[in-house]
Each structure stands twice: as C-alpha cells, then as structure tokens.
Amino acid sequence: MALTGWLGAWLCIWSFATLADKPYPTNNISLVVPFGPGGATDVLFREITAEAQAYLDTSIMVVNIAGSGATRGSQVVKEADADGHTLLGSHQTIDLAYFAGLSAYSHHAFAPVALLTRTVNIPATYAGHAAQRASDIPALVAEQDEPLMFGVIPSSTDHLFWLHFFHKTGIDTQEIAFIHYPDTGSQVAALLAGEVDFAMLNLPSASQLFATNALTPLGVAGEDRLTGLPSIPTLKEQGIDLVNTTDRGVFAPLNTPPERLAILANAFEQALAQPTLARTIEHSHGSLIDFRPLNDYLDYLNHQYTLLKSLSESVAFER
C-alpha cells in the first residue's frame, strides 16, 4: 500500500477512536426527512423522535429536505460528519432511487441504526370518483378515452407500488399517465382538487381525509384489514395478490462509531416501547412496529435489496 494509503487509513482509525472516546451526544441531533411536511414519513418520524429524544438527553430536530426523488436529503446525510449528530429517516426509496438511476448510491452508503415501522399502503381516490374499490381500476382504465392519472413521487415507494399493481392486474402502463410530485402532501392536494385520479396514501397522511369522506380508500395492501379502516377490504380480498408496506428506519453516515449507533438504537427502542406511542402507530397510523437494530437491520436491508431489485426489473422500474 502506498504511503498516502497507509496515512489515510491511520487517520481514519485515529478519528474513529477519538470520537468513540468522547461523550455522546454533545449537542442537538438533526434527523433529515427527505420529503416535505405532512407525509407519512414526516408524521411518523416527528412522533417517534419526540419520544426518543427523552432517552438521549438532547433534542432531535426533524429537518425536511425534499426533492430529486428523495435524494437531496439523503445526499446531505451521506456527506455529513460521521459523528452521530446527523441522521436520515427514510425507507426503500434509498435503493429504489439507485435502481432507477436517480442516485449513485444505495443503502450500503449508510450505517443502519434501526428499522422502526412498516406502514401498510392504501390506494385512494377523491370523493365521487367512479372507482369505489381498487378492483374497479382495471375496467375504468380500459373504458376511458383519456388516460387515468396516477400521482407518484418518481422512483419512490408509491411509484413502485403502482407498477406492481399494474403488473398484478394486467394494466398496460401505456394506457395510464403518471403525474410527478415532490412529496405526499402535494399529491394529497392534487387528489383533493381532482387533478389526478389516484394516489397511494396511508393512514398517517390521510386518516382525517378518509374519516371526513374527502378522500376514498380503495383497499388495504396488507395481509389483514386495518383497525383504523375496518370496513375497507384488503387487496387480496378483492382478488389482487399484492401486499405492500413502506418500511421506515434510521440511518447514519457511514463509519459512524458503533457505540454511538448503539446509543441511538437503544433510544428508539425505548421510544417504541411506550404504550401511548405504540397505540398511535399501530391503530391511528396503520403501521406495524418492527424494531430491528444495527446488524439485524442491515440483514433486513440486504434481503429487501435483493427482492426490490428483482421486482424493479420485472416491472420495468426506471427513471
């Protein structure tokens, strides 16, 4: 190895050891959400971090950095100091952006802290639309002279959801139109205005709109019906063999000291164990608590990476 190589490796080890010896945390922690306010990722991480910060003796500040298929926010964290004070709250979109050619990195560019939740997704439309169940969509697509419009965040989980839905129901993507939005909040606004026909939502982002009948849930992409929507059948009950969840977790910059990752994981574990928060997540937000720390989360991510890669190839998922 060249002298510069040895020197770089030594400096990295020295920096790592120095950080490990210092108290942590020493100041506020920033958790970057790579989407705008009001979406499920924003809602869930704000509620979970509000509880977790009590176990860190410091504040966790949620910062929204949306744009470029959620890569603007992830890039900020990827390039941040690996000291445990800048985190990323995200989901499968990290790998999906990579598969779509939107980013040059996958989850391997980060240090996993913990998987926290898996949120069941819900195809939805506006009140008064001809579709009342997800199983109505294929016939409506075939009947319309103009393409029906589906709101998506390019290269994100909702984009892949719809491609998977079309694959399962025999819908040709040439017969529909994807309308791109930067985040869930803008999709909800467009759906309420009737600017698009459908969007993939969930209870954190749309429960009140479902409750007031402003929006119509068309099905639940889970194995079972949701407690918060007991009258809405699953997609499987409608003859569509599709289960789909958005799996949210926390990431740190690569090479963050393991001791700091463990401290963070412990704080999130304690937060999720609080009964009030757990009830809110499971009943109000239609999400499953699935805590997997550190290497367990890495194993999960690696397994999901293989599955997502295969699925993205089978449904021609691209930028």
Q: Same structural domain for residues 23 and 86?
A: yes
pLDDT value for 18: 53
Please tell me the total count of domains within the chain. Answer: 2
Q: Same structural domain for residues 210 and 282?
A: no
CA distance 250 to 237: 33
The residue behind tokens 């698009």 is: 196
Domain boundary among 192, 215, 238: 238
Question: Is residue 319 in some structural domain?
Answer: no
Q: Given strand 60-64, what is the order of strands in its sheet?
A: 60-64, 29-33, 86-90, 245-253, 110-120, 287-293
pLDDT value for 155: 81
Tell me the residue range of the domain where 131 lies.
122-238
Grouping H, G, I as helix, E, B as strand and the rest as coil, residue 253 is: strand
Q: Same structural domain for residues 39 and 142?
A: no
Question: Is residue 287 in some structural domain?
Answer: yes
Q: Same structural domain for residues 112 and 250?
A: yes
Residues β-bridged to residue 118: 247, 288
Pairing of strands 287-293, 245-253: unpaired
Question: Is residue 18 in some structural domain?
Answer: yes
Stretches where the chain sits below pLDDT 70 are 1-21, 318-319
Residue 216 DSSP code: E
Q: Same structural domain for residues 230 and 259?
A: no
**276 CB contacts (<8 Å, ≥6 apart)?**
none
Q: Same structural domain for residues 231 and 153?
A: yes
Of 257, 270, 290, nearest to 57 by C-alpha is 270
Question: Is residue 163 in some structural domain?
Answer: yes
Residue 58 DSSP code: S
Question: Is residue 270 in some structural domain?
Answer: yes
pLDDT value for 312: 84
**305 CB contacts (<8 Å, ≥6 apart)?**
95, 106, 107
Domain boundary among 204, 238, 272: 238
pLDDT value for 318: 63
Q: Which two tokens stand for residue 139?
A: 């016939």
- 124 CA to centre of own chain: 18
Of 244, 228, 226, 216, nearest to 137 by C-alpha is 216
Q: Same structural domain for residues 226 and 89?
A: no
Q: Same structural domain for residues 76 and 132?
A: no
Q: Same structural domain for residues 132 and 227?
A: yes
Domain boundary among 213, 238, 263: 238
Question: Is residue 174 in some structural domain?
Answer: yes
Amino acid at residue number 146: E
Q: Same structural domain for residues 111 and 253?
A: yes
CA distance 12 to 174: 51
Tens of pLDDT along 258-275? 999 999 999 999 999 999
pTM (2 d.p.): 0.87
Q: Where are the alpha helices (DSSP H) in the chain?
A: 3-21, 40-52, 71-78, 93-99, 137-143, 157-169, 184-192, 203-211, 258-272, 275-279, 294-314
pLDDT value for 7: 46
Q: Same structural domain for residues 164 and 60?
A: no
Contact, 272 vs 53, CB < 8 A? no
Query: Which CATH number belongs to the domain containing residue 186 in this structure?
Result: 3.40.190.10
Q: Same structural domain for residues 52 and 68?
A: yes
Query: Which CATH number belongs to the domain containing residue 271 in this structure?
Result: 3.40.190.150
Question: Is residue 31 in some structural domain?
Answer: yes
